[in-house]
Amino acid sequence: MLTIKDLHVKLEEEDKEILKGVNLEVEAGKVHAIMGPNGSGKSTLSYVLSGKDGYEVTSGTAMLEGQDLLEMEPEERAAAGLFLAFQYPVEIPGVGNMTFLRTAVNAQRKARGEEEMSAAEFLKVVRARAKELKIDADMLKRPVNVGFSGGEKKRNEILQMAMLEPKMCILDETDSGLDVDAMKLVAEGVNALRNAGRGFLVITHYQRLLDHIRPDVVHIMADGRIVKTGGPELALEVENNGYTDILAEVA
Amino acid sequence: MAAPAEKLDATEARIAALDLPQGGWADAARADALARLRAMGLPARRDEYWRFTRPDLLTQVETPAAAVVVSDEAPVFSEIDALRIVFNDGVFDPEASDPLAMDYLKIDRLAEAKTDIHWAKSLYGQLETNGQTPVARPLGTLNTAFATDGILIHVTGKAPRPINLVYNHRIETSEAILHHVIKLDPGADLTVLETGPAAARFNKVMEVDVADTAAFHHVRAQGRDHERHAATHIFARLGTESTFKSFTLTVNGRLTRNDCVIELTGDDAIAHVAGACVGDGDFHHDDTVFITHDAQRCESRQVFKKVLRNGAVGVFQGKILVKAGAQKTDGYQISQSLLLDGDSQFLAKPELEIYADDVICSHGSTSGAIDEEALFYLRSRGLPSDIATDLLTLAFLAEAVEEIEDEGLRGALVEQLEGWLERHRG
């Protein structure tokens, strides 16, 4: 599904290398988790994959089902099936959540040469999905993320994911700022989307999200590289012993 | 202080090129305006309120030409059930206009009204004259003297539907000078719509006298012509518990100066003035607003948003004057620009002058670019860059557009904005 090979990335503005040769393969139907200390490059990886400005890829490749992601505009990556659930979802005053969702769904369909979703069909689907995530009608009407609590913002991200039905989902610290109940709700939303055709990359600091979204593979990232890969037990090891031991072991 | 000789010479040259309409009840007001104009002189660059906007094209003798834009779009308010009054290059079109009659309204034309219309005689040029202090507005005075036509409306109750003043522009070098007078009796209610570029050069005055508890709503769209020039004035006086709400949409236009002068003379009155403009390239738009609070517990709001690109220029000069004794005044003013590139310019001069001690007044002015974070967020969800930019631009304008209470009217203007954005994608 997602194949990253020897990816090197530096900041556009300064001569600072953030990713120093990332190799990663996420298969369809699998959930991979990336854990790592602050500043290890986890969020940068998610931004580079989704096409945010400010980064320069100096070498390496990132392919989504054989398509070269790095050659594409952010909207093309989205239409190709990539989705990033933001660590800090952006507030957009003046743009209604519904308008935004419908424009996004139909823009992707159009880009893929598919028929656009009718207003009635869209409404039906969005209401059903919103209900599952306990997103009320008022939240759908309000401007995108404006005045939303931390939990509401994250649930709104998952709602977008559910509506856009991407092939490859990247969740960037979706657990940050969430209490236990909110995290459960978000995790249920994610789990409902797990299927054989979809890959997930879950970026997190802590093990606790992975109690709810059970990963197949766990990677530890440090200083711009994936330094260790293992099963779910690796996340528990981090939880119990912190990163210091693992980092010392691979150094 | 006498105006400089150079200015007065230019003013005399302009006056000499115009015909003073004569033979009606407005003669005295016109003669008075002419004398005032001769004394104050037309605007010049050094005048305090013309520093950001060159008045030349509005004052010069020769009418600057403006290409006529033929649009396949339906006229802005064509879906709205309104009484249409049509002017082509400033000339009344009886064929295209509806009969000038509506319940609770007495409608006359300035050019036809030779016999004495008492209410109009006592108002014509009166609010314009009041609006000359403390800041002179010579183009308004010129209008009072030389207006060739206009609509006089006396409202005695709640008007069953709006009046739609349609200003067509068909001749490249046309000049139009129109002067409307609207008088609302206590408790009366009227909505006036205005649409169209009107002429290559348009000078328009609207005097509105809103009596106690009356309500006046005004929504206008100044046409799509790229090269037109316009100087418009609203002079309004508000009585106790009355309401005045005005919104202007401006898309294109080489030069637009919209003055709005409002006097809150009765307690608990409400005045809202708002505007949205979008300009691309050869575009200069100036909103100059002066609101005087001269009564207690009045509320005023100014909300102006400008979207500018390719060297377009936006100007906002907004003042709130709170006179001594106008306690519990609530004054609000915001002017913002969205600069879509580095070539465009927004010049703002917000002013507060307050002589009462128990008031709430606030003002703010900002200039900014498209929010890159928001743009990336939208694009990451699959919105192409141009559509995402349009969405964010509309969102920026929304705060001003939402000042229009009527959903149908608001929708009609949003459609205009969407059309413009689609035609002007970078």
- Coil, helix or strand at residue B273: strand
pLDDT on residue B366: 96
Q: Which residue on chain B is closest to A162 by alpha carbon? A: B381
Which of B 21-40 lie inside 8 A of A, CB atoms?
Answer: none
Contacts of B394 in chain A (CB under 8 A): 94-95
Q: Give the pLDDT confidence score for residue A237 in this predicted structure.
A: 87
The Cα B83–Cα B103 span in angstroms is 11
A51 and B379 in contact by Cβ < 8 A?
A: yes
- Is the CB of A73 less than 8 angstroms away from the CB of B377? no
To test the contact with chain B by mutation, choose from A92, A105, A153 the residue with the greatest count of B C-beta atoms within 10 A, namely A92
Of B379, B383, B395, nearest to A93 by CB-CB distance is B395
Q: How many Å lie between the alpha carbon of A98 and the closest alpha carbon of chain B? A: 13
- List the domain boundaries for chain B: 5-370
Residue in chain B closest to A100 (alpha carbons) equals B378
Specify the pLDDT at position A185: 87
> Would you state the structure tokens that stand for residue B199, as one six-digit string?
């002429």
Contact indicator for B165, B194 with CB cutoff of 8 Å: yes
CB contact under 8 A, A103 and B376: no
What confidence tier does B113 reach under pLDDT thresholds 50, 70, 90? confident
Complex ipTM value: 0.95
- For B248-291, the pLDDT digits (tens) are 999 999 999 999 999 999 999 999 999 999 999 999 999 999 99
Cβ-defined contact of B374 to A104 (cutoff 8 Å)? no
Of A92, A104, A164, the CB nearest to B374: A92
Nearest Cα neighbor of B173 from B275, B273, B62, B267 is B62
Per-residue pLDDT, A62: 97
Residue B268: the pLDDT is 98
- The band of B23, judged by pLDDT with boundaries at 50, 70 and 90, is confident
Distance from CA of B377 to the nearest CA of A (A): 7
In the A/B pair of chains, how many CB contacts fall below 8 A?
Answer: 82
Distance from CA of residue B13 to its chain's centroid? 27
* Closest partner CB to B381 (pick from A52, A93, A164): A164
Q: What's the confidence (pLDDT) of residue B63?
A: 95
Locate the chain B residue with the closest alpha carbon to A163: B381
Write out pLDDT tens, residues B355-371.
999 999 999 999 999 99
Q: Tell me how close the Cα of A239 comes to any Cα of chain B, in angstroms.
A: 32
Of the candidates A78, A92, A99, the beta carbon closest to that of B382 is on A78
Q: Does B234 touch chain A (CB under 8 A)?
A: no
Instruction: List the structure tokens of B157.
Output: 């109750």
What are the Cα distances from residue A162, in Å, to A125, B14, B35?
A: 10, 67, 72
Chain A residues with CB under 8 Å of B388 CB are 75
Residues in A closer than 8 angstroms to B399, CB to CB, are 94
* Nearest-by-CA chain A residue for B371: A92
For A164, name the nearest residue in chain B, comparing CA atoms only: B381
Disruptive mutation site among B334, B372, B378 for chain A (greatest number of A CBs within 10 Å): B378
Query: What is the distance, to the nearest Å, from the Cα of residue B76 to the centroid of all Cα atoms in its chain?
Result: 17
Cβ atoms of residues B319 and B351 within 8 Å: yes
Interchain pair B373, A86: CB under 8 A = no
- Interface test mutation site (partner B, options A12, A13, A52, max chain B beta carbons within 10 A): A52
Q: Please indicate whether, in this complex, the C-beta atoms of A93 and B383 are within 8 angstroms of each other.
A: no
Any residues with CB less than 8 A from the CB of B16 and at least 6 apart, and which?
none
Cβ–Cβ below 8 Å for A75 and B396: no
Instruction: Report yes or no: B420 at the A interface, CB cutoff 8 Å.
Output: no
Three-state DSSP class for A248? helix
d(CA B61, CA A130): 64
Q: Is the pLDDT of residue B1 over 70?
A: no
Give me the helices (H) in chain A, please: 42-50, 74-80, 97-111, 119-132, 137-141, 150-164, 180-193, 208-212, 233-241, 244-250
pLDDT tens, chain A, 251 aa long: 999 999 999 999 888 999 999 999 999 999 999 999 888 999 999 999 999 999 999 999 999 999 999 999 999 999 999 999 999 999 998 888 999 999 999 999 999 999 999 999 999 999 999 988 888 888 898 999 999 988 899 999 999 999 999 999 999 998 888 888 888 888 998 999 999 999 999 999 888 889 899 999 999 999 999 999 999 999 888 888 888 888 887 76
- Chain A residue numbers touching B397 (CB-CB < 8 A): 94
Taking contacts as CB-CB distances below 8 angstroms, the residues of chain B near A84 are 380
Domain boundaries defined on chain A: 1-27+40-71, 74-167, 218-251
Q: Which residues contact A144 (CB under 8 A, 6 or more apart)?
A: A90, A91, A92, A95, A96, A97, A100, A156
Does B384 reach chain A within 8 Å, measured CB to CB? Answer: yes
**Any residues with CB less than 8 A from the CB of A16 and at least 6 apart, and which?**
A10
Q: Which residue of B has its CA nearest to A159?
A: B381
| Among B373, B383, B398, beta carbon nearest to A104 | B383
Is the CATH number 3.40.1390.30 carried by domain A74-167?
no
pLDDT of residue A138: 87
pLDDT attached to residue B426: 65
| pLDDT mean across residues, chain B | 95
Of residues A75, A99, A143, nearest to B379 (C-beta): A75
Residue in A with minimal Cα distance to B376: A52
Contact flag B380-A73 (C-beta cutoff 8 Å): no
Dig out the tokens for B120 from the structure: 């109009």
For residue B40, give how far its alpha carbon lies from the nearest alpha carbon of chain A (Å). Answer: 45
Q: Give tens-digit pLDDT for B369-412.
A: 999 999 999 999 999 999 999 999 999 999 999 999 999 999 99
- Chain segment B199-208, per-residue pLDDT in tens: 999 999 999 9
- Residue B163 and residue B190: Cα distance in Å, rounded? 8
User: Residue B236 — pLDDT band, cuts 50, 70, 90?
Assistant: very high
CB A130 within 8 A of CB A101: no
Structure confidence by residue, pLDDT tens digits, B310-356: 999 999 999 999 999 999 999 999 999 999 999 999 999 999 999 99
CB contacts of B384 in chain A (<8 Å) are: 73, 75, 107, 111
- C-alpha span between B59 and B64 (Å, rounded): 10
Give kind and range of the element (H or E) at residue B31.
helix B27-40
